[in-house]
Amino acid sequence: MLTLDKLKMYRRFDGDIDGFARSRVDNRSGITDEDWRVIDELRQALFVVRSGQAAPEFAASVEQRLFSVAADDATRQALRELVT
């Protein structure tokens, strides 16, 4: 489950998982490689939706995925803000 703390860690490293892996940062957020991958995938999908190039079915599936992986509305909104 993605949380605001995990997204903050993702943003702290600007989405650079290698930089995160090489750092000695205290990972109190609990973000995992799998969480990182999900955020990357959602970020790309949300970009396609925001650009207006997504089919309605794809846009609906992205929204459905957001609801299944994000802990709450604030986390969903923070994910959407990654593409602004």
- Report the chain (84 residues): mean pLDDT per 10 consecutive residues: 97 95 90 97 97 97 98 97 91
Smallest CA-to-CA distance from 48 within 65, 31, 36 is with: 65
Q: Show me where the domains of the chain are located.
A: 4-81
pTM of the predicted model, to two decimals? 0.94
Smallest CA-to-CA distance from 78 within 19, 25, 6 is with: 6
Structure tokens at 62: 């992205």
